[in-house]
Structure 1
Amino acid sequence: MPEAGDGAAILAAVALLGYMLGSIPFGVVITKLMGLGDLRQIGSGNIGATNVLRTGNKAAAAATLILDGAKGAVAVLLVEWFLGSEAAAQIAGVAAFIGHLYPVWLRFRGGKGVATFLGTLLALAWPLGIAACLAWLVTALVTRISSLSALVAAALSVPLAQILGYRELMPAAAIMAVLIFWRHRANIQRLAQGREPKIGKKT
């Protein structure tokens, strides 16, 4: 019983670590530091890189993309380094992803999690992460619609995990994919109506 209790405490600590890392709102911090205003009052109000790009500052958008992706990756790699547990690493990565979606610092009003999702997959299994990134990139090049690219990458992540031999990652990928679809529900409605803006558009 004590061992089981210790294990539960460790997993809870891992989840908390991941969540707190994921909760860091890099998009908000970067735009404020660069004098671009409050990101939550710009464009869609989202705190991710796509909305940062609507400020017209590509460097700020790139920095946000990298740092948001790094949140999931760092959570996974730290846990793998210190605990050597793939299961715990998955928990940390998913917790970081949830932290980005619902950050405590912003009253649980966060982003849509795409960069953190991709960063988490890259750290858990780089072939799977690269495949998901390619799915996003190809869709973005063809359609120029960020939200559709995110939905395609999320939807394909589960079958890609199976195809590439990472079946143990399918539950984590599925959880993140479902949450990405949930967070994109307004985008899905606009896509159906043909009103979803292209990448880089200010509105």
Structure 2
Amino acid sequence: MNWTYLALAALGAYVLGSIPFAVVVSRAMRLKDPRTFGSGNPGATNVLRSGSKVAAGLTLLLDAAKGWLPVALVGWFGAPYGLWEGAQALVGLAAFAGHVWPVFLGFKGGKGVATAIGVLLGLSGWLALATLAVWALVLAISKMSSLSSIVAALILPLVYLLGGGPLWDYNRTVLFALVLMVVILVYRHAANISRILAGTEPRVGASKKSMVEQQSKPTRKKKAR
């Protein structure tokens, strides 16, 4: 592996990952800043909360694309420069880190779910499909997008190990990058985990009124008798 070329590719991937498409799309479509909604993260979910499904969908695609593109480019053109599959994963990790800690937003970014899916798609379509299947199954049962993302992330390394060989080539560097990405993603969901344990995490399809009621539960105090 050529470390100089890897560093340059990772830097480019980080800069690409740092582009806050949630903010860019919202401004282009004259919507409110997505950081003023919900969790305050610049992501597709908060763009959706601004009231535009089109803007949210576009943000989701662009956030996934910035994870997929650098991985795909290294896969297509990296071999002559000593960049193989392990380098793809590390470059993808850099793009993911750019979304989570974007240089253009003072290192305050999103949770990285869409970008992580893009990275997986660049590494292996089967790996991305298996992860999305777990996400969809948990979502169908729990109706909680955050829980779905957390469970899918935690299972990802196991899925990679089980599929290594028949569906994709096993690589320790890829596994390392995936595990590190999982740790970061779960850490970024710390507030969601607290709400899930408290039973106040909003569910998909819940009305705004019910969401407010759920989130206000922990603050209610019993009156002294």
Please indicate the TM-score interval, normalised by the length of the shorter structure.
Answer: over 0.9
Q: Please, what is the CA RMSD of the aligned residues?
A: 1.5
Measure the CA separation in 1 of the matches of 2:39 and 2:63. Answer: 18
Q: 1:173 to 1:151 in 2, by over 3 A?
A: same
Of the structure 1 ranges 34-43 and 186-195, higher mean CA displacement relative to structure 2 is found in 34-43
Pairwise CA distance, 1:8: 2.1
Deviations 1:81-128 (A, max 9, x none): 121321221111000000000000000000000011111011101111
Question: How is 1:97-136 mapped onto 2 (pairs within 5 angstroms)?
Answer: 97-136=96-135
Name 1:73's counterpart in structure 2: 68
**Could you report, residue by residue, the CA deviation over 1:11-34 in whole angstroms, capped at 9, with x for unpaired residues?**
110110110111111111111111
In 2, are the aligned partners of 1:100 and 1:111 still within 8 Å (CA)?
yes
Q: TM-score, normalised by structure 1?
A: 0.92
Could you give the per-residue CA deviations for residues 20-73 of structure 1, whole angstroms, max 9, x where no partner exists?
Answer: 111111111111111111111122211111221112211111111111111110
Tell me the matched-pair count: 198
The structure with the larger Rg is: 2
- Write the mapping of 1:1-203 to structure 2, written as runs, cut at 5 A: 7-84=2-79, 85-165=84-164, 166=168, 167-168=170-171, 169-199=174-204
Q: What is the TM-score with the length of structure 2 in the denominator?
A: 0.84
* Structure 1, unaligned runs of 5 or more: none
**Partners of 1:163 and 1:87 in 2: how far apart?**
18
Residue type of the alignment partner of 2:134: A
Equivalents in 2 of 1:78, 1:199: separation in Å?
A: 35
Letter in 2 for 1:170: L
Identity of aligned residues (%): 46
Maintained 8 Å contact 1:145/1:199: yes
Runs of at least 5 residues in structure 2 that lack an aligned partner in the other structure: 212-225
SS in structure 2 of the partner of residue 56 of structure 1: coil
1:196 is displaced (CA, Å) by: 0.8
